[in-house]
Structure 1
Amino acid sequence: MTPQQSAEQLIRAELRLLRDQVKGVHGSMVATSDGFMVAEDIPDLEPTRIAAIIATTLGLARQATEATGRGRFRETLTRGSDGYLAVFAIGEKAVVAVLGGDDMNVGMLHYQIRDLNKRIAHHMEQAVRSRKFLAPEDL
């Protein structure tokens, strides 16, 4: 991370790249597991409200995964009448949410998300080390 680039800027650039790489992605965001927004690339929606809803989705999905003996939560995909909401864990303390239309290429999203999550986790870790972002307990 250069002095000119904050972790938020680097993560936002990663989210824009995801929108460019996966057909049908309308936007995405990264939030902490307790609902605080880290970075977003979601046009036309209130990101702080979405961050809180995503944290709730994460909490419920984690409980469902554990209660059914499926191990640690990794992802959930919800399909509505107008498209998709995909939620992916980034470790234990953060989450990425992806909003897509009916035409979203879900297979390509799954292909891209693993590397994206690793890069975002790295940016967040670097920010914590440089004390320019979240506190260590937030990761």
Structure 2
Amino acid sequence: MTITPEAIALTGPGSGARINSPQTESADNDLDVHLRTLRRRVPHLIGSAVASSDGLLVADDLPDAIEATGIAALTAALLSVSLTFAAATHGADLHEVVLDSGVGHVVVYRAGPIACLALLTGADATLARVHLEARPVVRAIAATLAPAHHD
């Protein structure tokens, strides 16, 4: 799967900075552990990123060739549009979005009310395995970030 700098430039880069939250360093470490766990457990995973619902980068495990702040912005935008679409068509909440480009997948999960997780996979990834491994991690990420929402 190739995400080019040109594609990110067309949509606009992120802010260039990670969000600063009142979370402790242990929360940041927890997020990094969750992303590394996904890397180990999901075959053909290219990388992952946690973004705030407004598109700021919270954490990532992406290759250097992929601009993480741009992915965070795109992830939040995709989730926002998808939430609106789901509400308009089904009157229900949305949990995840899957894009299949033919050369890979982008899977975006809603991680509570303030964050989302994006996974980028190669074409050989099995979506059932991706979901099996990612859904518990999404719940853990939501729990990790929830205290900051209530402060």
What is the aligned partner in structure 1 of residue 110 from structure 2? 89
User: Normalising to structure 2: TM-score of the pair?
Assistant: 0.78
What is the aligned partner in structure 1 of residue 79 from structure 2? 58
What CA RMSD, in Å, does the superposition of the two structures yield over aligned residues?
Answer: 1.7
The structural deviation recorded for 1:32 is 0.6
Aligned residues: 127
What is the aligned partner in structure 2 of residue 132 from structure 1? none
What runs of 5+ residues in structure 1 fail to find an aligned partner? Answer: 129-134
Partner residue of 1:11 out of 14, 28, 31: 31
1:87-106 per-residue CA deviation (whole Å, 9 max, x = no partner) reads: 00011211000000001121
Partner residue of 2:46 out of 5, 26, 49: 26
1:1-53 per-residue CA deviation (whole Å, 9 max, x = no partner) reads: xxx95322210111111111011111101011100111000112111111011
What is the aligned partner in structure 2 of residue 79 from structure 1? 100
**Aligned AA for 1:85?**
V
- Cα pair distance change 1:14/1:60, threshold 3 Å: same
Identity of aligned residues (%): 31
The structural deviation recorded for 1:79 is 0.6
Q: Is the 2:49–2:59 Cα contact (8 Å) retained in structure 1?
A: yes
Partner residue of 1:104 out of 89, 114, 125: 125
User: Normalising to structure 1: TM-score of the pair?
Assistant: 0.84
Greater than 3 Å deviation, 4+ residue runs: none
Q: Is the 2:112–2:146 Cα contact (8 Å) retained in structure 1?
A: no
1:99-119 per-residue CA deviation (whole Å, 9 max, x = no partner) reads: 000011211111122210121
After superposition, residues 116-127 of structure 1 pair within 5 angstroms as 116-126=137-147
SS of alignment partner, residue 77 of structure 2 = helix
What is the aligned partner in structure 2 of residue 36 from structure 1? 56
SS of alignment partner, residue 90 of structure 2 = coil
Q: Is the 2:52–2:116 Cα contact (8 Å) retained in structure 1?
A: yes
What runs of 5+ residues in structure 2 fail to find an aligned partner? Answer: 1-23
